[in-house]
């Protein structure tokens, strides 16, 4: 060794040859080049197109193409209760829609088959704030949602429906459900949709308007005993006539009691009382006199009065009679037909002569205090909704709307 330092290059070369040798280094370099060349190529083998790749995640994170549109606009006030609420989806399908008021009550509705729109099942309530949440998905399954709120109008003019029978009552098999409105209705279809009548056991129920302020509902035949009937009046927000809105939302239920149908034969002057299809009593009666005959037809008891005043002037008979204490009176028609106790005629009249002004009379005593009289017995055995049929009278058939006498109109004339 001559003592001169060895150059750095010579040292590095020696170290390289001593550790890995020339052929190994060349092989590694060639392999590295091959990997680099493969990874730099294009086409479908790129990792960017495989599940979980950066490009796939980027595509899934793109905004949904679906656009949800809601009318009325967010924050709108004095919104119409019908026709104003519209929810649609563009470039996608609606998947979920919820419309609810401040109490959490939801509005029923349905998404149309192609998912392009949602339609409410009925009108909205008046003076109510609603919240809307709607979600749609585009063709890639990405969701888009929108939330809005609005408040419906406060009507200046309103109407309600007075109904019979009363909620929770038990009535006879002939009782229809009848609603009288405080304002004349000029949009009957909208009001009809807001009244739902159901029964258990289920039976078809149809309706009929009388004028523009009354609607009655009934099945084809008398109700079956034990039937429970429910009427839902969803009138709040219904525009019954221009600028006049319903303000009533109520559910009414009543039950049908035993069957009692009594048949008055004006010719034989007798009445057969049938309970659940069996005759339980035959009672002598007096019907309308030749000049003031009793209506024929099926009549329903709508009112029971232990004592009442009957004045001929109120039903077009002038001053022919004014009896201040008629006992056991039960109304059969609006025009003044009753079946009632009669204490002023001789006992021999009943079953023998027709002497009334159109009512059906039963023997009674003044004040109605004798429970053994035919009139007292019949009064105690009868309930609102029982049927009294009059036949063989020389008069016309009572009109279906004269009282709650729906059974005198053919079934095919009642609307579904």
Per the structure, the complete domain to which residue 164 belongs is given by: 157-256
Q: 350 with 310, same domain?
A: yes
Instruction: Examine residue 38 and state whether it is found in any structural domain, yes or no.
Output: no
Q: 198 with 105, same domain?
A: no
Q: So what's the pLDDT on residue 60?
A: 64
Q: Look at residues 84, 137, 138, 136 and name the one whose alpha carbon lies nearest to residue 107.
A: 84
Query: How far apart, in whole angstroms, are the C-alpha atoms of residue 98 and residue 136?
Result: 12
Angle 21-39/8-19 helices, nearest 10 degrees? 80
Q: 266 with 388, same domain?
A: yes
* Residue 75 · residue 232 · CB < 8 Å: no
Instruction: Examine residue 52 and state whether it is found in any structural domain, yes or no.
Output: no
Q: 86 with 166, same domain?
A: no
Low-confidence residues in the chain, pLDDT < 70: 1-60, 318-319
Q: 238 with 322, same domain?
A: no
* Residue 301 · residue 388 · CB < 8 Å: yes
Q: 328 with 373, same domain?
A: yes
Active site amino acids: 340, 359
Instruction: Examine residue 281 and state whether it is found in any structural domain, yes or no.
Output: yes
CATH number for 135: 2.60.40.3780
Q: So what's the pLDDT on residue 143?
A: 96
Q: 247 with 270, same domain?
A: no
* Residue 106 · residue 121 · CB < 8 Å: no
Instruction: Examine residue 34 and state whether it is found in any structural domain, yes or no.
Output: no
List C-alpha distances in Å: 107 to 77, 97, 98, 132, 257: 18, 10, 8, 10, 35
* Residue 305 · residue 330 · CB < 8 Å: yes
Instruction: Examine residue 3 and state whether it is found in any structural domain, yes or no.
Output: no
Q: So what's the pLDDT on residue 313?
A: 76
Q: So what's the pLDDT on residue 92?
A: 97
CATH number for 339: 2.40.440.10
Q: 251 with 324, same domain?
A: no
Q: Which helix (H) or strand (E) holds 342?
A: strand 338-342
Q: 232 with 282, same domain?
A: no
Q: 296 with 229, same domain?
A: no
Structure confidence by residue, pLDDT tens digits, 174-221:
999 999 999 999 999 999 999 999 999 999 999 999 999 999 999 999
Q: Of 256, 291, 323, which marks where a domain is finished? A: 256
Q: 298 with 398, same domain?
A: yes
Q: So what's the pLDDT on residue 320?
A: 73
Strand arrangement of the beta sheet that strand 239-241 belongs to: 157-159, 244-246, 239-241
Total domain count, the chain: 3
Instruction: Examine residue 213 and state whether it is found in any structural domain, yes or no.
Output: yes
DSSP string, 204-262: --EEEEETTTEEEEE-SSPPPTT-EEEEEEE-TT-EEETTEEE--EEEEEEEE---EEE
Q: Of 152, 174, 199, which marks where a domain is finished? A: 152
Q: So what's the pLDDT on residue 49?
A: 47
pTM of the model: 0.81
Instruction: Examine residue 377 and state whether it is found in any structural domain, yes or no.
Output: yes
Instruction: Examine residue 273 and state whether it is found in any structural domain, yes or no.
Output: yes
| CA 373 to chain CA mean position, Å | 46
Structure confidence by residue, pLDDT tens digits, 135-183:
999 999 999 999 999 999 999 999 999 999 999 999 999 999 999 999 9
Q: Of 238, 256, 274, which marks where a domain is finished? A: 256
Q: Look at residues 126, 74, 79, 131 and name the one whose alpha carbon lies nearest to residue 101.
A: 131
Q: Cβ atoms within 10 A of the Cβ of 297, count?
A: 24
Q: 298 with 281, same domain?
A: yes
């Amino acid at each position: 060794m001559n003592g001169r330092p060895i150059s750095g290059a010579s040292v590095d070369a020696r170290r390289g040859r001593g550790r890995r040798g020339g052929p190994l280094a060349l092989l590694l370099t060639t392999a590295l080049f091959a990997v680099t060349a493969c990874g730099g190529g294009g086409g479908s083998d790129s990792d960017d197109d495989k599940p979980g790749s950066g490009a796939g995640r980027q595509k899934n994170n793109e905004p949904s193409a679906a656009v949800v549109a809601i009318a009325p606009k967010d924050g709108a006030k004095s919104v119409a209760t019908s026709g104003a609420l519209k929810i649609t989806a563009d470039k996608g399908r609606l998947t979920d829609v919820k419309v609810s008021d401040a109490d959490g009550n939801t509005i029923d509705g349905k998404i149309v088959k192609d998912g392009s729109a949602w339609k409410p099942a009925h009108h909205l309530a008046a003076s109510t704030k609603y919240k809307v949440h709607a979600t749609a998905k585009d063709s890639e399954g990405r969701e888009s949602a929108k939330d809005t709120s609005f408040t419906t109008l406060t009507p200046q003019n309103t109407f309600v429906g007075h109904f019979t029978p009363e909620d929770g009552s038990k009535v006879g098999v002939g009782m229809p459900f009848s609603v009288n409105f405080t304002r004349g209705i000029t949009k009957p279809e909208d009001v009809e949709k807001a009244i739902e009548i159901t029964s258990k056991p289920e039976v078809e129920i149809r309706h009929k308007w009388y004028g523009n302020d009354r609607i009655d509902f009934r099945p084809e035949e008398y109700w079956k005993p034990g039937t429970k009937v429910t009427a839902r009046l969803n009138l709040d927000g219904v525009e019954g006539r221009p600028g006049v809105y319903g303000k009533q939302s109520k559910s009414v239920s009543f039950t049908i009691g035993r069957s009692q149908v009594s048949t008055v034969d004006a010719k034989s002057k007798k009445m057969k009382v049938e309970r659940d299809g069996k005759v339980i009593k035959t009672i002598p009666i007096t019907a309308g006199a030749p000049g003031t005959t009793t209506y024929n037809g099926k009549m329903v008891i709508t009112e029971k009065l232990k004592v009442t005043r009957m004045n001929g002037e109120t039903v077009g008979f002038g001053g022919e009679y004014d009896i201040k204490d008629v006992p056991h009176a039960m109304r059969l028609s609006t025009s003044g037909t009753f079946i009632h106790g009669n204490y002023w005629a001789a006992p021999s009249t009943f079953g023998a002569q027709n002497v009334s002004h159109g009512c059906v009379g039963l023997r009674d005593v003044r004040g109605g205090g004798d429970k053994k009289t035919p009139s007292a017995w019949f009064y105690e055995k009868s309930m609102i909704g029982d049927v009294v049929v009059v036949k063989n009278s020389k008069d016309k058939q009572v009109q279906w709307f004269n009282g709650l006498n729906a059974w005198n109109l053919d079934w095919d004339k009642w609307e579904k």
